[in-house]
Amino acid sequence: MIYVIAVLGYLGILVFLALRRSRSVATQDDFMVAGRSVRWQILVGTLVCTWIGSGSLFGGAGRAFREGFSALWMSAGAWVGIAIVFFLAARVRRIAEYTVPDLLERRYHPAARLLGTAAIAIAYLTIAGYQFVGGGRLLAILFPGLDPTVGMAIVAALVTLFAVSAGMLSVVRLDVVNGIIIIASILIAAPLAFSAAGGTAGLTAVLPETHFTLTGRLGISAALGLFLPTMLLLLGESGMYQKFYAAESGAAARKAVLGMIVGVIVIEVLILATAVFAAAGYWDDPMFRDGAGFHTAATETVLLEFARHQLPTLAGCLLLAGAVAIIFSTATTFLLVPSTGLARDVYQRFLRPNADSGAVIRFQRLSMVGLAGAALVITTWFESILDMALYAYTMVGAAVTPALLAAFLWRRATPAGGVISIAAGIGATLVFAALNAAGIERVGFLPTDYDYVIYPGAAASITGLVIGSLLTAPPEPDRVAPFLPANRDA
């Protein structure tokens, strides 16, 4: 009963505080970018909480259970991506738009805005969807008789209420508390899990040797298949850019990125290490087994099962509360970003250009409800959270990131090249996902498994960008100047 009280109590506090914050929303800037007044210390917390989601808590932890420390390749992609973003953060904040598609149109063409909005919506609804899946699994562990699908719907409703209440204002402030809960819970859980496994001797006696090698059982191609989608997603991650727009200055955005990289490295290493340690105790448990192999969806709940049944009560409650923080923070952001895209990049840009802030906010709130329903539908298309994560990461990483980076780094990138790049990335990712769903395992030498979909997706996008740009006239200087100023320190 104590676990139920801890989780439901924390949920209640989050929703209550978000409803209180709703009274502070007066303008479109408040709802979409928190008034562009967020200090770097606050921004660190919300950036970390946005990135550490169910992809880490469930998908990454499940991969660590099955394959060991090679699962860190997925996290390492984010670390490299954040390091690169450090050099762009101030420039992004200076441009001071609302969304990534704003940037795409400003650098390329209105078609780039629409295609970018579509790619981000598909990816981010998939990400929001697997937060709901994770939340449903959490409730099913707390209430054994509850169908996880029902739990998923309950979590979706609560997240939508949270997001609708105050938008970005509710996210950035509460993420400081969420970040503290997440860090404290995993700092306590990791050493307890290591001790419960019998230390190094206990781990090596139970787990395969490949659990402790650099690339693991599956080798370097699978490792890069985890690394590249994560890195490319991070480089084009719209929620992060939207939070840069919320920063009080470009300097604040850069400081926040430094804090983000430290926080993400510490938390993700500890999450995956805890999953490996916990695996030693569950390695032969039939709950996680599927014949000679493992049941992927079951292994993705290893941290929750460990918190509920193996940790001391207080530590278990804290880790479950941390799971709530992870799920809610990430799900809210990944509903907020596509709804901002619809409100800003479709409704305000094309349907009602003269709409006032109140009308735009009302449209965005209504769209959040519809998008949450769409995210629930998307969850039925995948077998595991890890598959959903890799598909979503590739959709943004292949379709949006090459054109977005070229906007800041390559003067020769043209409107045609940008549009072709985004369209090719979307097309290749959708085609390989459809082939995978149809049971076709390979196309030539390329597997269609989600571990490898980044290869054709990124290749199509980069090829389209380069060829499309070189075959068309150079862009107008006024279009390039905000992104590549003559003063490189600007």
pLDDT at 94: 63
Contact call for residues 316 and 3 (beta carbons, < 8 A): yes
Neighbours of 306 (CB within 10 A): 24
The angle, 0 to 180 degrees and rounded to 10, between the axes of the packed helices 40-51 and 250-282 is 40
Contact call for residues 86 and 258 (beta carbons, < 8 A): yes
Q: How confident is the model over 397-421, as a mean pLDDT? A: 93
Tens of pLDDT, residue by residue over 91-147, are 666 664 556 788 899 899 999 988 998 898 888 889 889 889 988 998 988 888 889
Q: What's the residue count for the chain?
A: 490
Among 83, 76, 116, 123, smallest CA distance to 225 is for: 76
Contact call for residues 91 and 483 (beta carbons, < 8 A): yes
pTM: 0.79
Contact call for residues 152 and 399 (beta carbons, < 8 A): no
Among 263, 228, 203, 233, smallest CA distance to 64 is for: 203
Q: Is the dihedral of CA 76, 78, 84, 86 positive or negative?
A: negative
Q: d(Cα 158, Cα 449) in Å, to the nearest integer?
A: 33
pLDDT at 194: 96
Question: What does residue 384 show for φ and ψ, rounded to 5 degrees?
Answer: -145, 160
Q: d(Cα 27, Cα 103) in Å, to the nearest integer?
A: 21
Among 100, 125, 128, 127, smallest CA distance to 115 is for: 100
Q: What are the start-end ranges of the H helices in 25-147? A: 28-33, 40-51, 54, 61-67, 72-85, 89-95, 100-107, 110-142
Tens of pLDDT, residue by residue over 31-50, are 555 555 677 777 787 778 77
Domains and CATH numbers, the chain: 2-374 (1.20.1730.10)
Select the more confidently predicted residue: 19 or 119. Answer: 119
Q: Is the dihedral of CA 329, 335, 338, 342 positive or negative?
A: negative
Tens of pLDDT, residue by residue over 178-220, are 778 888 899 999 999 999 999 999 999 999 999 999 999 989 9
Pairing between β-strand 289-290 and β-strand 293-294 as defined by DSSP bridges: antiparallel
Query: What percent of the chain is predicted at pLDDT more than 90?
Result: 35
Q: d(Cα 118, Cα 100) in Å, to the nearest integer?
A: 12
Tokens in use for 63? Answer: 């991969």
CA dihedral 239, 245, 247, 250 (to 10 degrees): 120
